[in-house]
Amino acid sequence: MINLLADASMPALAQLVRACQQAGMALQLETFSGRQPDAFQLARAQVLLIRSITQVTKELLDQAPHVCWIGTATIGTEHVDASACQARGIKFVSTPGVNAQAVGDYVASAVAALTLAQDAALTGPVAIIGGGHTGQAAGARLQGLGYQVHYYDPPLVAQGISQRDGMPIHANWQQVLASAAISCHVPLTRSGPFATYHLLDDASIAQLPANCVLINASRGPVVAESALRAAANRQQPLRVVLDVWEHEPQIATDLLPWLSLATMHIAGHSMAGKVAGTLQLLQQLLSWLPSSELAQASGTAMPVHELPDLIDLLQAWPTSVQPQLWQANEAPDWRTLASWVLAIYDIRQDDLALRQQPAKPAAFDQLRRGYAHRPELSVGQVQGGSWLATEEWRKRLKQLTFQFK
């Protein structure tokens, strides 16, 4: 019997494990709530499935002597001490790109809400910091809304990569700071030539143009809260959107009145993204198990071709998401596009939910645990006139992931 210990917020995991059990695999699932599993659970676990709020440290591993495989259903990996895992022979995997579409939707919703609030579209280019999966998804959405996008990614430039989807990739920090909007999509790294810790510090934020939109949906410490506090104190006219916080689960309560939008680290929490994370982790685990000492010792080794088709099992997963249909005989303007985005995912509701709760760590975590996972923009369907046949509009609707006929 292999003991799996998993974050209770992983949708579809119990159903998928049950299917594996029915196929003859000796798996046993136990779940934990909150940020960290307790010592009794860790002492029994052999496989650990987590999300970004669980910190895997040497101290945690000391309590988990039998763990030999750890998977995180997230893009980021800085919450796991990979060196400690390697030193103990623990296999560690992540799920890059799993929630990229949801994060792209989040950025589109933020820009849609802010521009409609001022009844003015962004005037000027948009900078995406980070040209990876989430950065590309955010950039595509903003291109679909009609904005000119450029990517800042020095590591990619160092590899000789100069564009993403026809948009330039560069290492010019001043070009970023001159943009009408900036959206952060980088991992948190504290050292090395491309460190991202406090990438946006006081000196950088002080240079931002008036009314600039700054979105952080990556990791809290990428944007220094002390720099935001200084900007608020000098009444710098910025529109700042924070989904992540430097000292999570404690949020900067003094900044809330100044922030344009504030949410509880849920940018990637679409139902499709969460289920995909669960699926990817279990697929990776099942691919590794047949040749592992753990499976041989527990008698659970099983050829991969004999395992149930997990993707087929998820086809019937109840997402209860209905398509959103729009009829447009003429090409939509920016206001119409923004309203379509908000009709599917309205970031303002999450902002309101955070502001209405006590600004305490327990309340922040409760909001995340109880979050009603939202649909993605891909449920949007557009029908209309001849404008839909043009190459430009087909490209833009695809960038927004809307379906069309």
How many residues are listed for the chain in this entry? 405
Residue found by looking up tokens 């003991």 in the block: 3
Residue in 248, 269, 368, 376 annotated catalytic = 248
Query: Do residues 248 and 265 make contact, with C-beta atoms less than 8 angstroms apart?
Result: yes
Q: What angle do CA 301, 303, 304 make, to 5 degrees?
A: 115
| Catalytic residue check, 306 | no
Q: Determine the Cα–Cα distance for residues 353 and 364; give it in Å rounded to an integer.
A: 10
The region, left, alpha or beta by phi > 0 then psi within -120 to 50, assigned to residue 157 is alpha
The alpha carbon of residue 334 and the mean position of all alpha carbons in its chain are separated, in whole angstroms, by 25
| Catalytic residue check, 265 | yes
Q: What angle do CA 141, 146, 149 make, to 5 degrees?
A: 65
- For 275, other C-beta atoms within 10 Å of its C-beta total 21
Residue in 185, 265, 368, 396 annotated catalytic = 265
Residue in 79, 219, 239, 396 annotated catalytic = 219
3-state secondary structure of 386: helix
φ/ψ of 224, rounded to 5, equals: -70, 120
| Catalytic residue check, 330 | no
Distances 387 to 189, 301, 331, 392 between C-alpha atoms, Å: 45, 56, 6, 9
Query: Do residues 333 and 231 make contact, with C-beta atoms less than 8 angstroms apart?
Result: no
Tokens, residue 361:
């760590």
Known catalytic residues are: 219, 248, 265
